[in-house]
């Protein structure tokens, strides 16, 4: 099954107006002229979404947010509704990132509720899963990831509305990357879990991204694994030349 690759930048809590606008414009201009065969997505912080939407105008670079509420609207101070994200021009929302699971005690049940709200609002979701170092060292990586996938996916998840990102927690922002073989083992396992949870057809079409210190020097070998369908990139997505180099490697 040939799946179109997706290269997604997770800007996390980085960037002020002017440098972020410049970053988005550089990416948009390069993507417009290079016309890569992969899809490209950037996910800036909430307050930058409308500015970045404008900066991307005329390019095929998609826009995503990094979280959303499970509620549509109302008395939820500080939260942002998926309908507001859709209204701001978002195509995607990242949900269940390990930093949110850790910093905000987000459970897979909450991630699932958010995913269902996001799909109802017409957004696509990137559901993040991944084991900690202790879990990997005790041989539990596959088990942990399987549990997270089964409990976090929305009812109604399919290959057009849902992407999974496998991000081993020990590889995020640490410079340590899973070997292509270790990553592929988990990705292939996730695809088998999707066969059981969804269907064979959905499992064969759903994109599974790798995230965790992906950079120009390791992207090509990760992206050539059969079940790695793109990357969710943090640090290296904040420099246009690095992000654009990864996009080239995905071609």
CB of 200 to ligand PGA, least distance (A): 29
Residue 213 interacting with ligand PGA (CB under 6 A): yes
Minimum CB–partner distance for residue 112 and ligand PGA (Å): 20
Q: How far is the CB of 235 from ligand PGA (least distance, A)?
A: 4
Determine whether 97 is an active site residue.
yes
3-class DSSP assignment, residue 230: strand
Indicate if 76 belongs to the active site. no
In the bound state with ligand PGA, the residue whose beta carbon lies nearer, of 58 and 175, is 175
Task: Give the CB-side neighbour count of residue 154, counting CA atoms within 13 A.
Answer: 24
Start-to-end Cα distance in the chain: 16
Q: Catalytic pick from 106, 116, 135, 167?
A: 167
Closer to ligand PGA by CB, 115 or 198: give it: 115
Of 48-56, 66-74, 76-84, 228-236, the window that binds ligand PGA (rule: CB under 6 A) is 228-236
Which residues, 6 or more positions from 227, have their beta carbon under 8 angstroms from its beta carbon? 184, 187, 188, 190, 191, 208
* C-alpha–C-alpha distance, residues 226 and 2, integer Å: 9
Q: Enumerate residues 5-64 that contact ligand PGA by CB under 6 A.
A: 10
Please choose, out of 22-30, 50-58, 178-186, 210-218, the segment that lies near ligand PGA by the rule CB under 6 A: 210-218
Task: Assess 108 for contact with ligand PGA (CB under 6 A).
Answer: no
- Binding letters toward ligand PGA, positions 117-136, x by CB under 6 A: --------------------
List alpha helices for 161-232, DSSP H.
180-197, 200-205, 216-223
* Burial annotation 156-184 (CB, 10 A radius, 16+ → b, else e): ebebebbbbbbbbbbbbeeeebbebeebb
Task: List Cβ neighbours of 176 (8 Å cut-off, separation of 6 or more).
Answer: 170, 212, 213
Among candidate residues 167, 154, 179, the one with its CA nearest the CA of residue 230:
167
Distance CA 155, CA 167 (A): 22
Site string for ligand PGA, 158-197 (x = CB under 6 A): ---------x----xx------------------------
Which residues are known to be catalytic? 97, 167
> Which residues make up the interface to ligand PGA (CB under 6 A)?
10, 167, 172-173, 211-214, 232-236
């Amino acid at each position: 099954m040939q799946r179109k690759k997706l290269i997604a930048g997770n800007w996390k809590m980085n960037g002020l107006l002017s440098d972020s606008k410049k970053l988005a414009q550089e990416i948009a201009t390069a993507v417009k002229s290079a016309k890569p065969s992969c899809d490209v997505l950037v996910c800036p912080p909430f307050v930058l979404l409308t500015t970045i939407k404008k900066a991307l105008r005329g390019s095929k670079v998609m826009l995503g947010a990094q979280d959303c509420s499970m509620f549509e609207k109302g008395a939820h101070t500080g939260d942002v509704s998926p309908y507001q994200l859709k209204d701001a021009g978002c195509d995607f929302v990242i949900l269940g990132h390990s930093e949110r699971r850790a910093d905000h005690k987000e459970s897979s049940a909450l991630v699932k509720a958010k995913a269902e709200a996001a799909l109802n609002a017409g957004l696509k979701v990137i559901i993040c899963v991944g084991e900690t170092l202790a879990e990997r060292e005790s041989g539990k990586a596959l088990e942990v990831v399987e549990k997270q996938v089964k409990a976090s996916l929305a009812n109604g998840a399919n290959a057009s509305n849902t992407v999974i990102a496998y991000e081993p927690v020990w590889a995020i922002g640490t410079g340590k990357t899973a070997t292509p073989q270790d990553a592929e083992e988990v990705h292939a396992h996730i695809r088998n879990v999707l066969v059981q949870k969804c269907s064979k057809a959905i499992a064969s079409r759903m994109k599974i991204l790798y995230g965790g210190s992906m950079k120009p020097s390791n992207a090509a070998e990760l992206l050539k694994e059969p079940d790695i369908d793109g990357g969710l990139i943090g640090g290296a997505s904040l420099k246009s030349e690095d992000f654009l180099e990864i996009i080239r490697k995905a071609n």
